[in-house]
Amino acid sequence: MSEMIRIDDANCRQFLDQAALDAAQQRISASLRTLQERSGPGSDFLGWVDLPIEARDNLAAVQSAADRLRSSSDVLIVVGIGGSYLGARAVIDALRPPFASGGPEILYAGHHIDGRYLRALLDHLEGRDVSLNVISKSGTTTEPALAFRVLRRLMEKRYGKTGAAKRIVATTDASRGALRKVADEEGYETFVIPDDVGGRFSVFTPVGLLPIAAAGIDIAPLLEGAASMRTLNAHADPARNPSFHYAMLRDALYTAERYIEVLASFHPQLQYVTEWWKQLFGESEGKEGKGIFPAAVSNTTDLHSMGQYIQDGRRSLFETFLFDAADDAAIHVPSAEDDTDGLNYLEGSSFADINRNAMRGTALAHRAGGVPNASIELNGITPATIGALLYFFETAVALSGYALGVNPFDQPGVEEYKRNMFALLNKPGYEERGAMLREQLGTR
């Protein structure tokens, strides 16, 4: 078992008999063989498997660019959507202190279409030195392309074309696409998104590593943590391979008609890890009428809202707790002479211990309420453990997808909303579809 990640499934066992677990283990064993042999659907998108080793070759170039951005910028804006920004944000939020003042402020654009946000961002940039890392394989994805158009104009107006070019780094295709064309024409420094790595698996490419390094996080141990998990993935044994163990539990619970997974973090800095996880599992599994719906909560905050549903609602879900078992934050409950709040019984207790017991109490309560739950316990929140955690999830979703009989590496359903949006916006070539949609909406 990994020293950095441990799975505790004690609160699942009463819901699954041994026959169900044995059958799930056989399915995940078959999935692991498919992944190792690279013989399943989407096998041309398995470049992520070797990234913890291969990405080390590019560390010097990535770190050099990151150091330049750090030294010249008050603000670095990461322009991207989905896998083009979520992995970096997950790592940065997990590892950078929430009130850190050193190094550039890391902000995000192009991850939605909201003019008020972009207007507020432009106002926030007044009087600050700004750099951009624009991330897009094609350069034509609507959300980041719109944001980049606005921000590029700001940069060129403020610094001139030559000055702006020194402050814009493009992470894109090696040889084709709109962003590659602009980058070559304008002289931007560029990094390549590998052809065999899908967006949601790209955190260990320059897509994630450049902004993470620019935030001041050491990317070498991040990759080392991922590499340690890669080594464990050779074992078709839940006792030795955490990714296998987690995928096996999910498969058994899905077969038992538990169709919703709630990933519950007890640490606010892991909120964007759960957001990244939602994209990874939602896009990888949700196909052909199959898959577990990924939902996430942030506890103990959401125990005062979603906790009611989890405890007493429909029994179609299961829960996975994400918890730092090594939390040793040195803050303790002080005494109060009047004890008006009735908390003197906790005097001297650490917040870490209180949070740990909140997690344990929640797990027991939800189990009693009919909700199977397991925990993913981290040995600290460090670059190495976060690297291991992300690679753990990437492997688990590949195993889960193959066990479902779907291609875990495509996302055909993502395109449908785009076609409708383009038609309603009168994009050339979509006129007929636009007329049909406006008729459905009752407008012309």
Over residues 386-400, the pLDDT tens digits come to 999 999 999 999 999
Other CB atoms within 10 A of residue 409 CB:
23
pLDDT above 90 covers what percent of the chain?
A: 89
Closest CA to 376 of 322, 327, 297: 322
Q: How far apart are CA 85 and CA 135, in angstroms?
A: 8
Catalytic residue among 37, 304, 337, 415: 304
DSSP state of 315: S
pLDDT per residue over 5-21, tens digit each? 999 999 999 999 999 99
pLDDT per residue over 251-277, tens digit each? 999 999 999 999 999 999 999 999 999
Torsion of CA 321, 83, 282, 222, to 10 degrees: -30
pTM: 0.95
Choose the weakest-confidence range: 44-58, 101-115, 348-362, 404-418. Answer: 404-418
* Strand runs labelled E in 233-381: 260-265, 293-298, 317-324, 373-378
Closest CA to 185 of 161, 210, 155: 161
pLDDT > 70? residue 307: yes
Task: Return the pLDDT at 395.
Answer: 98
Q: Which two tokens stand for residue 117?
A: 């946000």
Task: Return the pLDDT at 444.
Answer: 58
Handedness of CA 429, 435, 438, 443 (dihedral sign): positive
DSSP state of 382: S
Q: Which two tokens stand for residue 272?
A: 């964007």
Closest CA to 305 of 253, 257, 264, 364: 264
The helix (run of H) or strand (run of E) holding residue 227 is helix 219-232
pLDDT > 90? residue 442: no
The helix (run of H) or strand (run of E) holding residue 168 is strand 168-172
Closest CA to 329 of 354, 299, 366: 354
Q: How far apart are CA 417 and CA 204, in angstroms?
A: 29
Task: Return the pLDDT at 439.
Answer: 86
- Classify strands 5-8 and 373-378 as parallel, antiparallel or unpaired: antiparallel
Q: Which strands form 5-8's sheet, in the order they lie side by side?
A: 5-8, 373-378, 317-324, 260-265, 293-298
Catalytic residue among 290, 418, 431, 439: 418
Residue pair 253/13 in contact (Cβ under 8 Å)? The answer is: no
How much is the mean pLDDT over the chain?
Answer: 95
Q: Round to the nearest angstrom and report the end-to-end CA distance of the chain.
A: 61
**Inter-helix orientation angle 431-441/415-424, to 10°:** 90
Handedness of CA 244, 245, 248, 249 (dihedral sign): negative
Closest CA to 210 of 387, 51, 69, 390: 69
DSSP state of 104: P
Mean pLDDT in residue range 409-433:
86
pLDDT per residue over 144-165, tens digit each? 999 999 999 999 999 999 999 9
Q: Domains in the chain and their CATH numbers?
A: 5-40+222-404 (3.40.50.10490), 49-218 (3.40.50.10490)
Helices (H), 79-218: 86-95, 115-124, 142-167, 178-186, 206-214
pLDDT > 60? residue 2: no
pLDDT above 70 covers what percent of the chain?
A: 99
Task: Return the pLDDT at 435.
Answer: 86
Q: Give yes or no: 111 in active site.
A: no
DSSP state of 291: -
Higher per-residue confidence, 328 vs 2 = 328
Task: Return the pLDDT at 1.
Answer: 39
Residue 346 makes CB contacts below 8 A (sequence gap 6+) with: 333, 354
pLDDT > 50? residue 406: yes
Q: Give yes or no: 418 in active site.
A: yes
Tell me, rounded to whole angstroms, the distance of Cα 229 from its chain centroid.
17
The helix (run of H) or strand (run of E) holding residue 109 is strand 105-109
The CA-atom distances, in angstroms, between 236 and each of 39, 63, 240, 393 are 17, 36, 8, 16
pLDDT > 60? residue 227: yes
Catalytic residue among 283, 319, 377, 394: 283
